[in-house]
Structure 1
Amino acid sequence: MRSTRKAIVPLIGLTFMLAATACSGGGGNNGGGSAANTDEGNNGGDPKAGEKVTLSMMWWGPDERHEATKNALSLYSKQNANVSFKPEYMAWDAYWQKLPTLAASKTIPDVLQMDAAYIQEYVARNQLEDLSDVDLDGIVDPKVVENLKIGGKLYGIPLSQNAAGIAFNKAELEQYGIPLPQKNWTYDDYFQWARDARGKLPEGKYPIGDSTSWDSYNFYQTSMGKDPVMADGGKKFTLDKELFMTYYKTYEEFRKAKIVPPAEKAAAFLENDPQADPMASGVVMTRGATTGSVSALEQLMPGKVGVVNMPTGPAGGGWAQSTIFLSVSANSKHKDEAKRFVRWFITDKEAGKTLGLTRGIPINPDIYKDLEPTLADKDKLGKEIYDLSVEKALPFYSAAAGYSEWADTYNKEMQAVTYGQQTIEKAYDKLNKMGMDLAAKAGS
């Protein structure tokens, strides 16, 4: 996704920077071809074995992904002579403008790329096929599969390993004698680490950033065993007041103690800009990162970046799963063929070499093992975030449909708190009322 100017970010709005690999835009023209295959009989209108089949497939991404995917489709057709493809590909924005129109007319492709931020919406519309019968044993970590299920069913085959973590300036922390963050640290550990680090850093440097985004707080709330802020497609809204006050009172303390940058300084931060990135500029020692996004930071600070998983609570912390999937249309006439293809997409080793890292670090450990010797350090760092995170990971919680304005309002109200323009309790009251009203509307 494109870099955007953030107001204050310790764990930086990870919902909206899921991974440059998952959401990256890019040009693209429509192409031709299509395919499918089946082991499972003749359900859903699938043809008999050997009959010609054309599968339509649609995805978003940059040109590199388009070319790699088209090559993979050609490979599948060589291996399955009765199968051809009708591909369509485009940039991120165009994709999400087109898909709702196709969904409304029940003409979405047999196979489509899906994103964690939108999959629940299309499941709720009954547009996606249940893929629970696709055998992923030995391919995808069972915990990851379980976290991906919606209502006990699997609607997307995960393509890549992605996780939320924290990047830190290893070189400067070592320079100032500050212990490096350790795997599975708790929120209490994280906050105490920040207090201790403040005493060793010179003026103008800060151990962590401030927090104004709803998803950064949601990490905290869910780690404590509470419901996510939005659940059941937005019909359930939970903004736990006690946890909310505890979390933001901590940051209020940190602003007074200069543990986080002042609001005016943080407002000028620009992710992945050599001069304005909070961490690359040397101002803040830590920054939110994902498996897909940390490579850009490593390129700005080669050899200086370390990573750790998100802080944890009694229930766990952060998330580690794919945020980009291949789904099958509930209205496809070739469901079994499509299911066989999507499994092939993540299991065939030749396809794995063809696709490379165009959708992030492959979800299949065997595919990754083959690719690893060719990877740069920046890509291996992304894998490290995933490996550190998966043990304690919670499900990925995206914003529910209809909550985009609430998410924007959350950021604005909490920025007002950081500037001292309103109290934490006043911000809570506004956000809780708005959220409860949206949940009631969704429920009706």
Structure 2
Amino acid sequence: MLLAKKRIAGMTIFSMAAVLALTACGGGGGSGDKPPAADGDKKSSGPVNMKIMWWGTDARHQATLKALDLYTQQNPNVKFTSEYLAWDAFWTKLTTLAASKSMTDVLQMDGAYIQDYAKRGLLEDLSDVDLKGIVDPKILDNLRYNGKLYGIPLAHNGSGIVFNKAELEAAGVKIPAKDWTWDEFFAFAKEARSKLPKEKYGITDGTSSWEWYQFYQTSNGKGPMMVDGTKFSLDKDLWFKFQQTYDQFRKNNTVPPAQVQSGFKENDPKSDPLGSGTVMTRTATVGSVSVLEGLLPGKVAVVNNPTGPSGGGWAQATIFLSVSSSTKYKAEAKKFVKWFITDKEAGKTLGTTRGIPINEQIYKDLLPDLKRVDTIGKDLLDVALGKALPFYPAPPGWEDFVKTYQTEMEAVMFNKQTIEQAYDKIAAKGKETEMKLGKK
């Protein structure tokens, strides 16, 4: 199954963020009601110029700049120096800033990296920011690292499957149902192959995606492939069962041929597997599903990832605002990050540019003006929550393993090597990575 690039969402459509790094200052005058400072913090009275950076789409950039102007209007002593980048450029820049101990005062943070930055002492503890009645305590508990909170969650996120309901119904294929199992998912693929036109498919080939296999492993109670970010854990028997299923699908033409699969490009109208009409299902996140509704307006519906004995998929906040531990504006920064998710005007300005707002009241205020393209993410979240497992991204240090996994399994897809040969290389790379991380 071709996975939507998230990210992991929060990914809200990181792969579409193609703008280069820009720098802009937010200003403004006037006055207004100031939200309360974080518990125990003193209010800043002198001039404050906070640096802030984030990644995302142009819509997110423009909305955030307007929100910063609004904050300055309410707090005339505070101005911002803003930098906004595409996903890859953001992390490249942040790595450099961290190494030179010059991280911005406030920064957007992702669930895949927040523990690593916190562990290195680069993020401020935000546990004293009072979020009672604003964020569900269960959400906050899931986000703590060593009992501390290093990021204010901005939006809900989760994984699921988007399907072309209109075409499936027209072909007489049974529609995916909430909480379906992996057996039902594979049965769906076979039925779709038997009823759809020759060059249309029920599912994509999930062989080369380590994440798609990990969904299978975790749903069967075997845990993630990278335990605590340091230990490699690949269940050999389960992995072979999964890969052999897809191997048979390739032989039976149940999934697209490797040549077709390799040409897929997510969110592109002509080459997205679902958007182009070639495949009837595709994975997506809460933050990215709106793109697919935009490509096929009124034709798609959502369902959770296939489930096993332990559940399936994930639903968790993955995008945050964090504060650098080196900032000289700690009190003002804490006040600002709370304001970012509580101020009603800011909520209207930011809309759903980072996904479904974590503050339920803000989302309710937005709801009357939202269209289907905005609310389908909430539909996906609702179906994902019931059986959701924790969010298990590839931890820092596993990048080479992820590339190796994809490369070796693509070789299998193109019949250049056997599943057994691929397993040996993948397992060896996993152990090698584990040893390297263990020595750090």
With normalisation by structure 2, the TM-score equals 0.89
Q: CA deviation at 1:442?
A: 0.6
Q: Is the 8 A contact 2:303 2:383 kept in 1?
A: yes
Partner of 2:139: 144
Match of 2:212 among 189, 192, 216: 216
Contact 2:39 2:130 in 1 (8 A): no
Instruction: Give ranges in structure 2 of 5+ residues lacking alignment.
Output: 28-33
Q: State the 1:105 CA deviation.
A: 2.8
Q: CA deviation at 1:18?
A: 5.7
Distance 1:139 1:195, change over 3 A: farther
| Counterpart residue identity of residue 158, structure 1 | P
For residue 160 of structure 2, the aligned residue among 158, 165, 175 is 165
- Count of aligned pairs between the two proteins: 430
Aligned to 2:85: 91
Q: Cα 1:432–1:133, aligned 2, differ >3 Å: closer, same or farther?
A: farther
Cα deviations by residue, 1:288-327 (Å, 9 ceiling, x for unpaired): 1122222222222111111111112222221222332100
Partner in structure 1 of residue 37 of structure 2: 38
Instruction: Give yes or no for the alignment of 1:265 onto 2:260.
Output: yes
Cα-to-partner distance string for 1:147-184 (whole Å, 9 max, x where unaligned): 33334432211112222111111011111222211112
Alignment CA distance shift 1:30-1:268 (3 Å): closer
Specify every segment of 5 or more residues in structure 1 that has no aligned partner in the other structure, as ranges.
Answer: 1-8
Tell me, yes or no, if the aligned pair for 1:57 and 1:85 is still in contact at 8 Å: no
Matches of 1:140 and 1:48, distance apart in 2: 23
Q: Which residue of 2 aligns with 1:305?
A: 300
Task: Decide whether aligned partners of structure 1 residues 417 and 146 sit closer, same or farther in structure 2, where only a CA change above 3 A counts.
Answer: farther
- Alpha-carbon distance in 1 for matches of 2:2, 2:81: 40
Matches within 5 A, 1:39-438: 39-41=38-40, 50=45, 52-81=47-76, 83-92=77-86, 93-211=88-206, 212-233=208-229, 235-438=230-433
- Structure-2 separation of matches of 1:144 and 1:397: 16
Report sequence identity in percent: 54
Contact 1:311 1:318 in 2 (8 A): yes
Local SS of the residue matching 2:25? coil
**Do the aligned residues in 2 keep the contact of 1:307 with 1:385 (CA within 8 Å)?**
yes
Cα separation, partners in 2 of 1:379 and 1:114, compared to 1, 3 Å:
same
1:10–1:286 contact (8 Å) kept in structure 2: no
Query: What is the alpha-carbon distance in structure 2 between the residues aligned to residue 252 and residue 198 of structure 1?
Result: 15
Separation in 2, partners of 1:90, 1:333: 21
Following superposition, which runs of at least 4 residues in structure 1 exceed 6 angstroms of deviation?
34-37
1:280 counterpart letter in structure 2: G
1:347 deviates by: 1.3
Is this contact kept in 1: 2:5–2:13, CA < 8 A?
Answer: no
Q: What is the root-mean-square deviation of aligned Cα atoms in Å?
A: 2.5
Deviations, residues 6-50 of structure 1 (Å, cap 9, x unaligned): xxx4445655686444562324532335999734335xxxx5664
Please say if residues 112 and 326 of structure 1, whose CA atoms lie closer than 8 Å, have aligned partners that are also in contact: yes
Tell me if structure 1 keeps the 8 A contact 2:38–2:128: no
